[in-house]
Amino acid sequence: MDLTGEYRIAAPREVVWAALNDAEVLKACIPGCTELVKTSDTTMEAKVALKIGPVKAKFSGAVELQDIEAPQSYTIQGEGNGGVAGFAKGSADVLLTEDGEETILAFSSHAKVGGKLAQIGSRLINSTAKKLANKFFDSFHAQFNDEVPPD
């Protein structure tokens, strides 16, 4: 499934770019992320525990930043294995555009789910992916506005 969106962030592009590359910020914004450890400048190991309705799945996997054009754009890609639940794989192209003192963040992401989750959850995968992507960018947006991110 494909998702796109756009956010206006009240911070200069350099600041937003730094946050997009900060493992602590990413950890705080990835829904259900319990652990995010940098393994190199562009790779990270992540553990994510997701609860969607009755389903609880723990994913562990790798996150990689690709096609980096500082301070303008990159592609963030993640791949996780949820054991018996299946696997999830996704990437997002993130583009930052300067607009005076503010920054416009545009993303377009693509996600795939396989295994048992996809089999029994096909009814809900799209809505769930959209909700998670929105949660990530809402939380990220809130980092710059001292807002409490919505649940």
Partner 1 sequence: MYPTKYHKPASIADAVAALNGGDEAMLLSGGQTLLATMKQHLAAPSDLVDIRGIAGLSGISANGNELTIGATTTHAEVAGNVDVRRLCPALADLASGIGDTAVRNMGTIGGSIANNDPAADYPAGLLALNATIVTNTREISADDFFEGLFATALDEGEIITAVRVPAPSKAAYAKFAQPASLFALVGVFVADSGSGVRVAVTGAGEDGVFRHAGLEAALTGSMGDASIDAVDISDGNLISDIHGASDYRAHLISVMAKRAVLSL
The site for partner 1 (CB under 8 A) is made up of 52-57, 84-85, 116-117, 120, 122-128, 130-131, 151
Q: Phi/psi of residue 95, each to 5°?
A: -125, 130
- Give whichever of 104 and 124 is closer to partner 1, judged by the CB atom: 124
Compute the least distance from the CB of residue 119 to partner 1, in Å.
9
- Output the six-digit token pair for 119: 């089999």
Identify the residue whose tokens are 């807002």: 147
Q: Which amino acid is at 5?
A: G
Determine how many CB atoms are found less than 10 A away from the CB of residue 19. Answer: 18
**Partner residues linked to 56 by β-bridges:** 51
Closer CB to partner 1, 146 or 151, in the complex? 151
Q: For residues 150 and 135, give the distance between their C-alpha atoms in angstroms, rounded to a whole number.
A: 8
Q: How far is the CB of 151 from partner 1 (least distance, A)?
A: 7
Q: Cβ of residue 11: shortest distance to partner 1, in angstroms?
A: 28
CB of 90 to partner 1, least distance (A): 17
The answer to whether 129 and 1 are in contact (CB under 8 A) is yes
Q: Which is nearer to partner 1, 26 or 133 (CB)?
A: 133
- Which is closer to partner 1, CB of 103 or CB of 109? 109
Are the CB atoms for 66 and 42 separated by under 8 Å?
A: yes
